[in-house]
Amino acid sequence: MQHIMEAVQAWIEKHIVPVVNKLQATYWFGVISDAVLYIVPFSMVSAIPSLWNIVRRFVTWLPDISPITTYSFGLVGLFMAFIIPHNVAVKEDRKDRSMIAGFTGIGTYMLCMNAQTTDAGTVFEMSKFGAGGMFTAMVVGFVVGFIYKRMARMTFFSEDSLIPDFVKNWFDNIIAVLLSLLIGWIVTYIAQVDVFTMVGLILSPVTNFAQTLPGTIAIPLVMDTFYFFGISGWVFSPVQQSIQKAALAENMELYAAGLAPVNINAYGITRYIMIGGEGATLPLAFYMLFAKSKKNRTLGRATIVPSIFNINEPLVFSTVVANPFLFIPMVAQAIILPAMAYLWMSMGWAGMHVENFDMNFLPNAISAFFMSGGNWGNVALVCVNLVIAAILWFPFFKAYDNYQAKQEEKQAEEKAAKKAAREARKAARRAAAEAEASEA
> How many CA atoms, within 13 angstroms, populate the side-chain half-sphere of residue 110?
13
pLDDT, tens digit (0-9, with 9 covering 90-100), for 115-138: 888 887 888 888 888 877 888 998
Is the per-residue pLDDT at 344 higher than 90? yes
pLDDT, tens digit (0-9, with 9 covering 90-100), for 302-335: 889 889 988 888 898 888 887 888 888 999 999 9
Mean pLDDT, rounded, for 332-351 = 96
Q: Please state the pTM of the whole predicted model.
A: 0.72
Centre a 10 Å sphere on the Cβ of residue 304 and count the other Cβ atoms it contains. Answer: 17
pLDDT, tens digit (0-9, with 9 covering 90-100), for 402-411: 888 988 888 8
Is the per-residue pLDDT at 2 higher than 60? no
The sign of the dihedral angle between the CA atoms of 242, 245, 251, 255 is negative
Give yes or no for a contact between 315 and 299, defined as CB atoms under 8 angstroms apart: yes
| Confidence at residue 380, expressed as pLDDT on a 0 to 100 scale | 97
* Residue 10: strand, helix, or coil: helix
* DSSP letters for 215-260: HHHHHHHHHHHHHHTT--GGGGHHHHHHHHHHHHHHHHHHHHTT--
* DSSP letters for 382-434: HHHHHHHHHHHHHHHHHHHHHHHHHHHHHHHHHHHHHHHHHHHHHHHHHHHHH
| Confidence at residue 167, expressed as pLDDT on a 0 to 100 scale | 66
Q: Which residues pair with 63 in a beta bridge?
A: none
Is the per-residue pLDDT at 414 higher than 80? no
Give yes or no for a contact between 262 and 250, defined as CB atoms under 8 angstroms apart: yes
Higher-pLDDT residue of 171 and 139 is 139
Mean pLDDT, rounded, for 363-390 = 94
The sign of the dihedral angle between the CA atoms of 111, 116, 119, 122 is negative
| Confidence at residue 173, expressed as pLDDT on a 0 to 100 scale | 80
Q: How confident is the model at residue 72 (pLDDT cuts 50, 70, 90)?
A: confident
Judged on CB neighbours under 10 Å (0-12, 13-18, 19+), 28 is middle
Give yes or no for a contact between 337 and 388, defined as CB atoms under 8 angstroms apart: yes
Mean pLDDT, rounded, for 286-294 = 93
Mean pLDDT, rounded, for 206-224 = 92
| Confidence at residue 335, expressed as pLDDT on a 0 to 100 scale | 96
Among candidates 78, 84, 238, 77, which has minimal Cα distance to 148? Answer: 84
Q: Which contiguous run of DSSP H or E holds residue 379?
A: helix 376-439
Q: What percent of the chain has pLDDT over 90?
A: 38
